[in-house]
């Protein structure tokens, strides 16, 4: 087994604001005439890029204190076309959700782009349904940069072939911007923050099942007061660290606990982890609480397909936990991982193999036999301490952070090739982690 070298007696931390909710707080503020107030906003590259993009259309931004902003919109019909290209950096959520909103705004012309990683990611998943609504949206080989001419869109019924909150939210925002109706169905529920924020502003969704709803105008867009809790996707790194401590626990305060996001808790618990929830409450239509992860012994557990959308972003760090599980670790039905900031199946498989760990790769996941049988721990340790190992992070924040957690809990000599990507979602991650090592 890879050794666990780190202990901590009851350390308490908080993590930055939820990335999904931060993007959405900008987009709902853009749609609502007047001044919306946001607190807990994630001041990381991804949501800051979304904020900046809409400032080019007329959104006024006033920063009150760290994470607290006033967003003043002239109302959706008084926005103007941006003079410059809108750059969403590394953010799939930023570009896909904004594309929906802009495609539904009559008279707005915009060009949306992003970094090298974003320009490789599939956009046909939004281009196809938006075009079917009558939108004008084009990208070479269906990739960014995307050219959009906003239009009044038609009522639309869509059964999504993938459980993607980005696709769902893109179409919902297009319907809202265009004041048209949308009936949307997905096979497995993807994160439902857009639905929650929509209802928080006083709108209604008519559900025929938990994964099938209809929305119909007129919509209410009143400037809101949005409170963003800590991001469970960021908390996940410290929850796994807490579970993998030799002894002790970690308390992560003020974390969003939306049921469509808590797959990481379910999976860790199924693997034998002790995670306690304290101080549960509801803020802005979203459940929130404090999470305490206690040093635990882990074992293999099947991760069911229906949990995948609710832990899709946490699979790299869950895999690090899985390296310490008796009986090994497997993730399947997760082909969507190949369409993230990097191909996360390849990224995890390549890096783990490079450490001497046996991994079976599949189209939709991978399997890691128990470390006792796949790699001799003393050999692994000796090899790494002699040579060290480079981690290829592939422009992907979550790959970088996952291996930094592995390094912290195991003491293995791992060096990520680049860590600047962490700024897209979790500024301060490395110093928070260092706090555990001192
Ligand atoms: C997100 C949805 C998910 C997730 C991403 C954030 C969102 O993507 O991976 O990090 O905020 O809607 P998909 O919708 O592509 O699964």
- For 15-63, what is each residue's pLDDT tens digit? 999 999 999 999 999 999 999 999 999 999 999 999 999 999 999 999 9
Is the CA virtual torsion 39, 19, 185, 270 positive or negative?
negative
Q: Pull the structure tokens for residue 211.
A: 């994964």
pLDDT at 10: 80
Is the CA virtual torsion 244, 381, 317, 334 positive or negative?
negative
Dihedral pair phi/psi, residue 250, rounded to 5°: -130, 135
Ligand 1 atom with least separation from CA of 125: 15
- DSSP letter at 201 equals T
Average pLDDT rounded to a whole number, residues 124-145? 98
Cα 101 to Cα 291: distance, rounded to the nearest angstrom: 34
Task: Return the best residue to mutate from 191, 336, 399 for the ligand 1 pocket (most ligand atoms within 8 A of CB).
Answer: 191
Q: Which residues line ligand 1 (CB under 6 A)?
A: 20, 93, 164-166, 169, 190-191, 312-313, 336
19-227 CATH, one of 3.30.565.10, 3.30.70.150, 3.65.10.10, 3.40.50.2000: 3.65.10.10
Tokens 């090739």 sit at which residue? 417
pLDDT at 375: 55
Reported as a single tens digit per residue, the pLDDT across 155-166 is 999 999 999 999
Extended strands (E) in 186-270: 206-209, 212-215, 225-227, 247-256
Q: Report the topology of domain 11-16+229-437.
A: UDP-n-acetylglucosamine1-carboxyvinyl-transferase; Chain (3.65.10)
Its pTM stands at: 0.96
**CA 190 – ligand 1 centroid, Å:** 8
> Comparing 11-16+229-437 with 19-227, is the CATH topology the same?
yes
Cα 332 to Cα 67: distance, rounded to the nearest angstrom: 37
Average pLDDT rounded to a whole number, residues 217-229? 95
Question: In the chain, what are the domain boundaries?
Answer: 11-16+229-437, 19-227
CB 17 within 8 A of CB 67: yes
What residues does 252 pair with on adjacent strands?
A: 13, 291
Average pLDDT rounded to a whole number, residues 339-358? 95
Question: How, if at all, do strands 247-256 and 7-14 pair?
Answer: parallel
Reported as a single tens digit per residue, the pLDDT across 383-426 is 677 677 899 999 999 999 999 999 999 989 999 999 999 999 99
Cα end-to-end distance, the chain, whole Å? 24
Cα 52 to Cα 43: distance, rounded to the nearest angstrom: 12
Dihedral pair phi/psi, residue 248, rounded to 5°: 105, -165
**C-beta atoms surrounding 80 within 10 Å:** 12
Q: Which one is catalytic: 18, 46, 192, 313?
A: 313
CB 400 within 8 A of CB 374: no
Cα 32 to Cα 34: distance, rounded to the nearest angstrom: 6
């Amino acid at each position: 087994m890879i050794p666990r070298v780190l202990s901590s007696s009851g350390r308490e931390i908080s993590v930055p604001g939820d990335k999904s909710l931060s993007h959405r707080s900008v987009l709902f503020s853009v749609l609502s005439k007047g001044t919306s107030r946001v607190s807990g906003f994630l001041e990381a590259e991804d949501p800051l890029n979304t904020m900046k993009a809409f400032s080019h259309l007329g959104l006024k931004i006033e920063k009150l204190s760290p994470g607290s902003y006033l967003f003043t919109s002239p109302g959706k019909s008084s926005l103007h076309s941006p003079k410059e290209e809108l750059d969403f950096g590394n953010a799939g959520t930023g570009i896909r959700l904004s594309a929906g909103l802009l495609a539904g705004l009559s008279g707005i012309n915009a060009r949306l782009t992003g970094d090298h990683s974003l320009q490789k990611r599939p956009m046909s998943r939004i281009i196809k349904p938006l075009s079917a609504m009558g939108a004008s949206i084009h990208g070479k080989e269906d990739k960014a940069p995307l050219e959009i001419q906003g239009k009044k869109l038609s009522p639309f019924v869509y059964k999504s072939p993938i459980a993607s909150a980005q696709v769902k939210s893109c179409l919902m925002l297009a319907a809202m911007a265009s004041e048209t109706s949308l009936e949307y169905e997905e096979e497995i529920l993807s994160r439902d923050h857009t639905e929650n924020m929509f209802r928080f502003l006083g709108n209604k969704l008519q559900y025929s099942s938990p994964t099938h709803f209809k929305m119909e105008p007129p919509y209410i867009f009143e400037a809101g007061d949005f409170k963003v809790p800590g991001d469970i996707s960021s908390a996940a790194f410290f929850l796994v660290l807490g579970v993998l401590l030799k002894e002790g626990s970690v308390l992560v305060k003020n974390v969003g606990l939306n049921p469509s996001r808590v797959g990481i808790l379910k999976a860790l618990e199924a693997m034998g982890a002790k995670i306690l929830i304290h101080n549960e409450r509801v803020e802005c239509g979203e459940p929130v609480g404090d999470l305490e992860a206690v040093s635990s012994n882990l074992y293999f557990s099947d991760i069911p397909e229906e949990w995948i959308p609710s832990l899709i972003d946490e699979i790299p760090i869950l895999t690090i936990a899985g390296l310490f599980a008796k009986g090994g670790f497997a993730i399947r039905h997760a082909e969507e991982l190949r369409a993230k900031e990097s191909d996360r199946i390849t990224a995890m498989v390549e890096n783990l193999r490079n450490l001497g760990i046996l991994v079976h790769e599949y189209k939709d996941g991978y399997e890691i036999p128990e470390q006792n049988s796949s790699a001799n721990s003393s050999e692994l340790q000796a090899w790494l301490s002699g040579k060290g190992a480079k981690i290829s992070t592939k422009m992907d924040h979550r790959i970088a952070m996952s291996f930094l957690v592995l390094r912290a809990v195991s003491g293995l000599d791992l060096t990520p090739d680049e860590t600047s990507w962490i700024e897209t979602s979790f500024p301060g991650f490395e110093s928070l982690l260092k706090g555990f090592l001192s």
